[in-house]
């Protein structure tokens, strides 16, 4: 009897540990982190949109925040997915979309970044993110972040083998005003880079020539680095391919007309920048 009781207690303990280990999980009804658009395309460009989605795994409920918060830039990049989908067609480029909200885990941050799972974002507290243990954080990374970026890595490898060196465009948007600080952003377009400025500078030159009315600049509203970004350092710089992180002010792409206009602007200037960059490289 005592042995039986001990075995039962051991089983119960193991079951409890297993439940603890699997507090974060993706249910069958939860979407896969990745959606691929235009996989058949074999153009010159490769697109990513890491902050496209607003999905929350069912195990996290509503993250403890109000529904209106999920419509804000803290949850996703407003308008970025729609612009990316249009760009995929305009540039004949494959597009890798990430479906989960950046509040669950930011797929444009390395796992070691303190804000990869934010406890607060632009003045809003995220209760379900507070006090997570390392295991909780790792599970989100392994189930969402890693599958997305593994797929991007594999796709870029295939692209290089089949078509040669692509140009990586990471599509994002930014809010005109930060609620927590009152900071206003007047720029409309940011072209971001870290160590390799080839394509960003070429694209800015084209934008300034073709659309002088657009307020555009390099590295606004922030600067890319190894801790605050992931796609550019890992998939762009490490692979040695031309790249740029594109930031569009989200009030300009909050409706279909704006999304279509900016998709046209980005597609035209990206194509011209590719030619310009190649000419500049040949001159060297």
All domains of the chain, ordered by start, with CATH?
25-283 (3.40.630.40)
Mean pLDDT along residues 269-273: 98
pTM of this prediction?
0.91
Which is it for strands 95-98 and 45-49: parallel, antiparallel or unpaired? parallel
Report the range of poorest mean pLDDT among 74-78, 160-164, 220-224, 271-275.
160-164
Per-residue pLDDT band for 4 (boundaries 50, 70, 90) equals very low
Q: Please give the biggest Cα pair distance in the chain.
A: 86
Residue 143 confidence class, pLDDT cut points 50, 70, 90: very high
What pLDDT does residue 8 have?
43
Query: Is residue 64 within 8 Å of 19, Cβ to Cβ?
Result: no
Residue range 213-229: average pLDDT?
97
Phi, psi torsion values for 49, nearest 5 degrees:
-145, 90
DSSP assignment letter at 55? B
User: Is 174 strand, coil or helix?
Assistant: strand
Residues 6+ apart with CB under 8 A from 246: 169, 170, 171, 172, 189, 190, 191, 192, 266
Q: In this model, does residue 249 exceed pLDDT 80?
A: yes
Half-sphere exposure of 112 (CA within 13 A, CB side): 2
Residue 69 per-residue DSSP state: G
Q: Is the model's pLDDT at 11 over the cut of 50? A: no
Give percent above pLDDT 90 in the chain. 89
Question: CA–CA distance from 110 to each of 17, 70, 225 (Å)?
Answer: 28, 23, 11
**pLDDT score for 283:** 66
DSSP secondary structure letters along 231-264: HIIIIIITTT--EEEEEEEGGGSSSHHHHHHHHH
């Amino acid at each position: 009897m005592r042995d039986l009781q001990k075995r039962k207690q051991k089983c119960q303990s193991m079951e409890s540990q297993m439940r603890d280990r699997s507090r974060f999980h993706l249910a069958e009804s939860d979407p896969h982190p990745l959606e691929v658009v235009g996989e058949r395309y074999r153009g010159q460009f490769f697109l990513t949109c890491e902050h496209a989605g607003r999905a929350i795994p069912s195990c996290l409920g509503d993250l403890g925040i109000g529904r209106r918060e999920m419509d804000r830039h803290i949850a996703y990049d407003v308008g970025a997915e729609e612009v990316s989908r249009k760009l995929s067609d305009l540039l004949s480029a494959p597009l890798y979309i990430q479906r989960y909200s950046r509040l669950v885990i930011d797929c444009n941050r390395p796992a070691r970044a303190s804000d990869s799972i934010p406890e607060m974002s632009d003045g809003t507290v995220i209760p379900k993110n507070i006090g997570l243990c390392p295991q909780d954080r790792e599970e989100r990374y392994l189930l969402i972040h890693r599958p997305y970026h593994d797929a991007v890595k594999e796709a870029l490898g295939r692209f290089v083998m089949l078509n040669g060196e692509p140009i990586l465009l990471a599509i994002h948007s930014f809010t005109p005003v930060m609620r927590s600080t009152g900071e206003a952003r007047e720029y409309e377009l940011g072209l971001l880079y870290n160590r390799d400025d080839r394509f960003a500078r070429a694209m800015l030159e084209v934008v300034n020539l073709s659309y002088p009315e657009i307020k555009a600049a390099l590295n606004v509203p922030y600067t890319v680095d190894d801790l605050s970004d992931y796609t550019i350092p890992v998939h762009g710089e490490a692979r040695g391919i031309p790249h740029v992180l594109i930031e569009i002010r989200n009030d300009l792409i909050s409706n279909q007309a704006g999304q279509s206009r900016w998709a046209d602007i980005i597609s035209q200037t990206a194509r011209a920048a590719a030619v310009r960059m190649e000419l500049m490289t040949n001159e060297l």
